[in-house]
Structure 1
Amino acid sequence: MGRESTSHARHRGPAPGGGVPVSGAEEPEPVLLHTSGRAAHITLNRPRALNALTHTMVRRIDEALTEWERDPAVETVVITGAGERGLCAGGDIRAIHDDARDGDGSASAAFWRDEYRLNARIARYTKPYVAVMDGIVMGGGVGVSAHGSVRVVTERSRVAMPETGIGFVPDVGGTHLLALAPGESGTHLALTGAQIGAADALWCGLADHYVPTATMPEFLDALAEQPVEDALDGHVRTPPPDVLAARRDWIDTCYAADTVEDIVRRLIAHGDPAAEEAAETLLVRSPTALKVTLASLRRARKLGPLELVLNQEYRVSCAALDMPDLVEGIRAQVVDKDRRPRWSPKTLAEVTDTDVERFFTPLGERELGLSPLMH
Structure 2
Amino acid sequence: MASWLARHGIQPTVVERASALRLGGNGVDVRGDAVTVVERMGLLPRVRELATDVRGMQFVDATGRAVARIHTQDPASPEIMRGDLVALLRAATDVDVLLGDSIRALEQDDDGVHVTFEHSPARRFDPVVGADGMHSNVRRIAFGPEERFITFKDHYFAFADTDAALGEDRWVTMFNTPGKMAGIYRSGNHAQAKAYFMFRSAPLDYDHRDVAEHKRLVSEAFAGEAGWRTRQLLDSALTDPGFYFDALGQVRMNSWSDGRVVLLGDAAWCASPASGAGAELALVGAYRLAGELAAANGDHRVVFPRYDAAHRPLVNDKQQIGPNVRLKVPKTDGGRCVRDVVARLPLMKAMSAVERRAQARNARPLPDFTRAA
Q: Say whether the fold is shared (TM-score over 0.5).
A: no
TM, length-normalised to structure 2: 0.27
- Which protein has greater RCO, CA pairs closer than 8 Å, 6+ apart? 2
TM, length-normalised to structure 1: 0.27
Determine which structure has the larger strand proportion and give its number: 2
Determine which structure has the larger helix proportion and give its number: 1
